[in-house]
Structure 1
Amino acid sequence: MKKDLKLTAIFLLIIGLVTGLTQPAHAADSDSINEKLGVPVVVYGDTLSEEQKQEVRDLLNVTDPSAVEAYTVTGEDIAKYIDGDPHSRMFSSAKITRKEKGTGLHIDIATPDNITEVTTEMYANALLTAGVENAEVEVVSPVKVSGHSALTGIYKAYDVQGEELDKERMELANEELDVATELSKKEGMNQEKVSELLTEIKKEIAEQNPATKEDVEKIVQEQLDKLEISLSDKDRQLLIDLFEKMRDLNINFDQVKNQLEDIASKVKDKLENLDIDEGFWQKVVNFFADLFQIISDFFRSLFK
């Protein structure tokens, strides 16, 4: 009995140490307030109950409500920022921490199982289109939602902080998200492929600075061919119309080219992981099973 108790205690200690080493690390000064940029802003969906709001706080690590500025995003805000339905139900919430220029845009979906249609790369692409560049953005929802309305909360956060975003660019970013989620549902497509396609088109627009609609059409088709993506004429036209609007608004993607390259790199990694065969994962399972057996045998030998 004593041997088993000792073995259990040691094993739990090892598990605790391994877990501590493998948990996501937060910077030592993550709770420090940047006096130049201000405190983080948390925007809660208007439909959330008080219990759900507390769940959101926990997920966003808001342990001290006085350390953030809190607002509520409503259906009226959707109508104001992106001409959406003012009667929309709002569950998606977001925490925005503004960063120094050159830091880049970092997106984290704290509840990936509850954001069903929008990926971090889709958010990043849309926010760069809207003009959001240097920030850490965390998105969360206590219930399953598509994830579209979180954009409105992010826009409101910038608005209340006095950093006005262009409404046309916000509306276009929302349209981009709609196109992205629509294409990701097509046969032979997925969220990663769509994110890669949109990012590569933006990179080429930054490189070529298209002067005409025909130039935009050429870039779109070149990237479809390069990525070996086949779309219907209707879906291809959705992309052309979207990027033609970006050209009309003179969005300078050259300013965020490094971030686009970073997004492209992350998407490629995800696509490569999707291609890994099931046999690989079985090997991973077997490896850890063998590892724990070795650890167990080792400690049992200490008490023989």
Structure 2
Amino acid sequence: MKKWVNVVTVFFVLFSLILPSASFASTGDQGINEKLGLPIVVYGAALTDTQKTDVAELLEVDQHDQVDEFTVNGQDLANYIGGNPNSNMYSSVKIIHQDNGQGLAIDIVTPENITQVSKEMYTNALLTAGVENADVLVASSVKVSGHSALTGIYKAYDAKGVKLDEGRMKVASDELDIATDIAEEQGIDQAKISELLTEIKKAIAEQDPATREEIEQIVQDQLQSLNIELSPEDRQRLIDLFEQMRNLNIDFDQVRNQLNDLTGSLQDLINDDGFWNSVTNGVRDFFRSLSNFINSLLN
């Protein structure tokens, strides 16, 4: 009996050392934040009741005392960004508002089911749309591209009376489409594409271009600086995209710090290509060693 107690004790001590700490804010043990309001959860309308329950667990909805819940459908997609009103919406989101200056943090809690959009792509697009100072969690119970999560976020803000600029929402959606298209068609790493978009925005903030020709030069300079080769068609799509942003007078200088933070995280991803493989191997080796250790105690 004593041997079993020792085994169980060792197991839980070791297991507690590898549990990740929570990085997103919770109202579960602090009550309702009257200043920032309730967390918002938006479910994709195409989810079945079972899938909705699964997504609620993935988004840890029950950790909050109360939440505001909404549903996003194809008509919302059409209303916000001119998409197909018959689209099936599966991607779901939870948004926790933060104080000014806290920045924008994205977490894809089901990366295996969000097949085309990285969290850095979401961050870039949401900054374009005007979303700041929030923790945003994205989840889907089925494999989806991930594009519709933006619409869920727009719906959440609209439902709470925060009107995001329609032009900025549309351009942000276009940005996400272009980023995922280039990554998939050209075989360029998602982090590299996100870095390109971020550096172009930072250059726009610094140079304040007044003409389309200046936008074209910024795009070309950043492509050359990052050693990225694009087809003439994709290069033109980028120029057209940022020309739209220029015409909308988006103040990227206002979110410069968040763009700088995004650059840092992207560099970490790009420089550590084998990081996640090493983590996976390390966890596997840990449990193999743990199993061998426990067996030695029992024998």
| Whole-Å separation in 1 of the counterparts to 2:288 and 2:212 | 59
SS where residue 46 of structure 2 aligns?
coil
Question: Quick one: which amino acid aligns to residue 71 of structure 1?
Answer: F
SS where residue 121 of structure 1 aligns?
helix
> Cα distance, 1:274 vs. partner?
1.1
Q: Which residue of 2 aligns with 1:201?
A: 200
Q: Which residue of 1 aligns with 2:172?
A: 173
Q: Deviations over 1:279-298 (max 9, x none)?
A: x789958985897599669x
Question: Quick one: which amino acid aligns to residue 24 of structure 1?
Answer: S
CA 1:65–1:76 in 2, change beyond 3 Å: closer, same or farther? farther
Question: Quick one: which amino acid aligns to residue 186 of structure 1?
Answer: E
Q: Deviations over 1:105-162 (max 9, x none)?
A: 1111111110000011100110111111111111110000000001001001000111
CA 1:45–1:290 in 2, change beyond 3 Å: closer, same or farther? closer
| Whole-Å separation in 2 of the counterparts to 1:286 and 1:130 | 41
Q: Which residue of 2 aligns with 1:55?
A: 54
CA 1:277–1:99 in 2, change beyond 3 Å: closer, same or farther? closer
| Whole-Å separation in 2 of the counterparts to 1:66 and 1:282 | 35
Q: Which residue of 1 aligns with 2:231?
A: 232
SS where residue 84 of structure 1 aligns?
coil
Q: Deviations over 1:182-240 (max 9, x none)?
A: 01013341211100100010010000000111100110011001100011111110110
CA 1:114–1:289 in 2, change beyond 3 Å: closer, same or farther? closer
Pairing 1:82-93 to 2, within 5 Å after superposition = 82-93=81-92
Q: Which residue of 2 aligns with 1:129?
A: 128
Pairing 1:63-212 to 2, within 5 Å after superposition = 63=62, 67-212=66-211
Question: Quick one: which amino acid aligns to residue 233 of structure 2?
Answer: K
Question: Quick one: which amino acid aligns to residue 87 of structure 1?
Answer: N
Q: Which residue of 2 aligns with 1:264?
A: 263
CA 1:90–1:283 in 2, change beyond 3 Å: closer, same or farther? closer
What number of residue pairs does the alignment pair up?
A: 297
Instruction: Tell me, yes or no, if the aligned pair for 2:43 and 2:72 is still in contact at 8 Å.
Output: yes
SS where residue 141 of structure 2 aligns?
coil
TM-score by length of 1: 0.89
Unaligned runs of 5+ in 2: none
CA 1:289–1:132 in 2, change beyond 3 Å: closer, same or farther? closer
| Whole-Å separation in 2 of the counterparts to 1:36 and 1:64 | 19
Matched, 1:25 2:22: yes
Report percent identity of matched pairs: 50
| Whole-Å separation in 1 of the counterparts to 2:53 and 2:239 | 43
| Whole-Å separation in 1 of the counterparts to 2:281 and 2:107 | 29
| Whole-Å separation in 2 of the counterparts to 1:203 and 1:41 | 30
Matched, 1:253 2:252: yes
CA 1:219–1:28 in 2, change beyond 3 Å: closer, same or farther? closer
CA 1:128–1:232 in 2, change beyond 3 Å: closer, same or farther? same
RMSD over aligned CA atoms reads 2.7
CA 1:29–1:110 in 2, change beyond 3 Å: closer, same or farther? closer
> Cα distance, 1:33 vs. partner?
2.0
Question: Quick one: which amino acid aligns to residue 230 of structure 2?
Answer: L
CA 1:249–1:59 in 2, change beyond 3 Å: closer, same or farther? same
Question: Quick one: which amino acid aligns to residue 83 of structure 2?
Answer: G
Instruction: Tell me, yes or no, if the aligned pair for 2:206 and 2:253 is still in contact at 8 Å.
Output: yes
| Whole-Å separation in 2 of the counterparts to 1:134 and 1:10 | 41
| Whole-Å separation in 2 of the counterparts to 1:18 and 1:277 | 19
> Cα distance, 1:97 vs. partner?
1.2
Question: Quick one: which amino acid aligns to residue 161 of structure 2?
Answer: G
Q: Deviations over 1:31-86 (max 9, x none)?
A: 23220221011111000011111111101111178700111101110111001000
CA 1:59–1:282 in 2, change beyond 3 Å: closer, same or farther? closer
| Whole-Å separation in 2 of the counterparts to 1:23 and 1:11 | 18
Instruction: Tell me, yes or no, if the aligned pair for 2:27 and 2:33 is still in contact at 8 Å.
Output: no
CA 1:196–1:8 in 2, change beyond 3 Å: closer, same or farther? same
Unaligned runs of 5+ in 1: none
Instruction: Tell me, yes or no, if the aligned pair for 2:26 and 2:64 is still in contact at 8 Å.
Output: no
